[in-house]
Amino acid sequence: MAIKTTVICIVPVKNESWILPDTIAGMQMWADHVIVGDNGSSDNSVAIAREAGCSIIDLGVAFDEGRRRERLISAARQIPGRRLIISMDADELLSANWRTSREWPMMADAAPGTRFNFELIEFLPGITQASIGRYPVPLAFVDDDSAYHDVSLIHTQRIPAASGPVVTLNEIKLLHLLALDPQRVFSKHRWYKCFEFIEHGLRPWDICVRYQDTRLKTYDYPLVPVDPSWMTAYPWLDKYRSLATRDAFYWWDEELLNYFDRYGVETFRKINIWDVDWTSLSRKLGRPSLYRDPRNVLEIMMHKLIERYREQLKLGRPLPFRVVKLLARAVLPHLGW
């Protein structure tokens, strides 16, 4: 008699009420348990998760991706029996064809320690096109109690380096919904830039080239039409085809204001985050202060150059941009970039 596999979805959350009711419902279609780790939400994310019947653990307010993944995996391991653990983010879904794919029962029946990689599908605004991630995402594993060792603060691995084989799925995809709201992407990436500049000491040039600014760019990732089979279980996705959020603000914006207060705006003059009127935004948040753009003419020109040619600079092609990339690496550190 086959041993039943319990499917457990683990999800770290911070202020995801914009989409959380729908993505939790999507996860509950295939998960026996959904465990939500709250990382200091100030919106109603916890209430949404509680109402949906999720288990909730408190991850505190400090941002530490490695620690929160470790705690979520530990929480999943409190559920007895054979476990398939799938590590999602709050703005993600599995493609709806999981219900008919032969890959789903294969995952449940795989040997302990087997790890599963998923192709990342980034839905673009309008949900008619999507970009395909260049590298598959290690997302799920049949638990073998392997230790989770990633202690990075940010951009961590989602699952342990399990002891068994690695299987890359072909049919079931990981759908990422963040880019349906481009302003949310830009806000998150502004925070990434400042976080990595302060916490990791990364160079302004590298940070500015790496992250989105004011226009979504696909960095030469393949673009494909959205496959209807990915969406058949999620009719609610239609309401996300057009999001009017240009004047919205996000928790990352308030975190940047905290950085400005702590370190001063001059500290961030070389980071391309100054397309926002931070003084006006701070007033909307009820914390009026003056946050003037500290950049000089040269710094403004550098940011405009990066914004215009970010894809070419990041990819290093065609050839002239490869030369610029090499020069930037050799010369700009001496100029504080």
Pairing mode, strands 82-87 and 137-142: antiparallel
What's 5-179's CATH class?
alpha beta
What's the CA gap between 300 and 212, in Å, rounded? Answer: 16
Distances (CA, A) of 293 to 192, 226, 257, 265, 306: 19, 40, 13, 8, 18
pLDDT tens-digit profile of 172-199?
A: 999 999 999 999 999 999 999 999 999 9
For residue 78, give the DSSP letter.
Answer: T
Domain ranges of the chain: 5-179, 182-217+249-335
pLDDT given for residue 243 in this prediction: 77
pLDDT given at position 1: 45
pTM listed for this prediction:
0.94
Report the distance separating Cα 200 and Cα 29, nearest Å: 39
pLDDT averaged per 10 residues in sequence order, the chain, 337 residues:
87 97 98 98 97 97 94 98 98 97 97 97 96 95 94 92 91 97 94 96 94 87 95 96 74 96 97 95 90 96 93 89 88 90
* 8 A C-beta contact, residue 291 and residue 257: yes
